[in-house]
Every structure is written in structure tokens, then in C-alpha cells.
Amino acid sequence: MAPTLPTPRASTRLLPWSARAWFLAALASQWLFAAYIAWTLVRPLTGADAASIDGSRLITGHVVGDTPGNAALLGHVLAAAIINVLGLLQLVPVLRRFPSWHRWAGRTFMALSLLAALSGFYMVWGRDSRLSDVSAIAITLNGLLILVAIVMAWRLALRRRFAEHRRWAIRAFLLVSGVWFLRLGLMAWVIINQGPKGNTPHLDGTFDAFWVFACYLGPLAIAELYFHAEAGSRRMQFTAAGVLALSVALTLLGTFGAFTFMWLPHFEQA
């Protein structure tokens, strides 16, 4: 007997609901990440005890006398904190009904994304703040793709080609979220394997070398699947919904690991 496919109504409902489920999981996770960044990184850098940031295990923290490097670090982490709060809100349909809010929030997001990418370039190649050459190449590619996505989203918005603008804005959001995806993926991997497997402290292990690229290329691939599924066949919609459901599970697992082992200890030390 041939397997039956979901009814058109069921498959049509599954896709947006699975996207909403991932949105909620990602929103909670990114806001936790933003709180961690603000408390552990932004607060010390903007206060009188900037040197205490070294306790956060940054590759290169606050360096006395290195004004350009310290400024790049502050700009990078401040942009990251705001982006993690603001980014997903741009995808909320209700908020997009307020053109002024959507326009100014979008401009802020794009400007801060450019700041995060450019300051990242400086820290990796100008400040030599990297764990390995593999991770440096991955970060550089991520940054270049961010620049492309931001420029495309901006140009399409100016031309009022809003359907295409939406897709490039989502791509930009996923690319800018690469650091967040990196942490969640590593934590989910460690939990699933009940310990490190193919990981090293320098992010050049077998899994590390894969994930430093896949942490942003993977979400891009899932987004392309979702875009095609929106107007695609029942089979494609059901497949995309299943991939998003799996993404929800991994996002929750990665968030649990990152919050428990990476973020929460810094709040408890305060």
C-alpha cells in the first residue's frame, strides 16, 4: 500500500506553525544570549572595571593602551547585544504593520550588523583575536556574506521589492546570528554525545571544522528550503515543517546547554 501524504490543509498549516515554534524558541534563546552579552561583556567595558571582562574567557579582552582594539571590541559586543534583541522582532507581522517602527528598526539592525561584521574583521585580522586559522576563515566568510545580505536587503527595500527584501533580510538575520548558532550547536553536540567528540579548545577538531562553517550555512540552507516550500508542493511543505521541527528541538537543547554551562555561571558570580 502506497504511503499517504498529508492533506493540503494539514501541510499548509504545519509549515507556518513550525516556523512560529522555531521563532519562539529562538526569541527566548537570543534574548538570554543578549542578557549574557550585556551583563558579562558590555557592562564591564562601559564601566570602571573593563579588565574584569577577561574573566569571560574572551580570546582577547581589554588590553591597556590598545584604544582601537578596545573600541572595536566594545562596538562588536554592544552591536551583538542589540541585534539579538531587535533582530527577530523585525519578523513579527504585527510590528511590520507600523511602517515607521519597521523602517527605523530595520535601519538600526542593518547598521549594527555592518558594525559587527567590520569590527569582527578587525579583531580577527588586525588584533589577531582568533582560536585557529580555520575559525578565522569561517568568521571572515560569515562577515563577507553579512555585508552582501545587508546591501541586498537595503537595495531591495529602497526599490520597494518587499517580497525579495524579506528573504534577504531573513538571510542577513541568520548570518548575523552565526555566533549564537555556533554556541548552541556546540552545546547540543556535546550533550547528544555526552561529552566532546571531534572538539578541541582551538575549534579545529573534526566537528569544529565542520560546524564553524555550518553554523551559518546550515540555517541559510533551511531558510532556502522554507522559501521554496511556501509556494511548493505538499511534500516540500511537509519536509520543510519537519526540518523546522527538528530545528526547534536542537535550538531548545542547545539553549539549555549554553545557558546552563556558558551563560548562567557569569550571572551567579555577580
Using one digit for the tens of pLDDT, what is the confidence trace for 1-30?
Answer: 444 444 445 556 889 999 999 999 999 999
Interatomic CA distance for residues 163 and 157, integer angstroms: 9
- Print burial letters for 187-221: b (CB count within 10 Å at least 16), e (below 16): bbbbeeeeeeeebeeebebebbbebbbbbbbbbbe
- pLDDT 10s digits, 138-193: 999 999 999 999 999 999 999 999 999 999 999 999 999 999 999 999 999 999 99
pTM, full prediction:
0.90
- Using alpha carbons, list the distances in angstroms from residue 11 to 106, 222, 233: 31, 17, 9
- Provide the pLDDT for residue 9: 52
- Of the candidates 92, 80, 54, 44, the one whose C-alpha atom is nearest the C-alpha of residue 182 is 80
Residue 97: which region, alpha, beta or left (left: phi > 0; alpha: psi -120 to 50)?
Answer: alpha
Query: Average pLDDT of 68-93?
Result: 87
Largest CA distance in the chain: 74
Residue 144 has a CB neighbour count (10 Å cut-off) of: 13
Do 210 and 134 contact (CB within 8 A), yes or no? Answer: no
Domain boundaries, the chain: 12-268
Which residue type occupies 270? A
Site of grid cell 557569569: 266
Long-range contacts of the stretch 196-202 (C-beta < 8 A, 24+): 201/131, 202/131, 202/132, 202/135
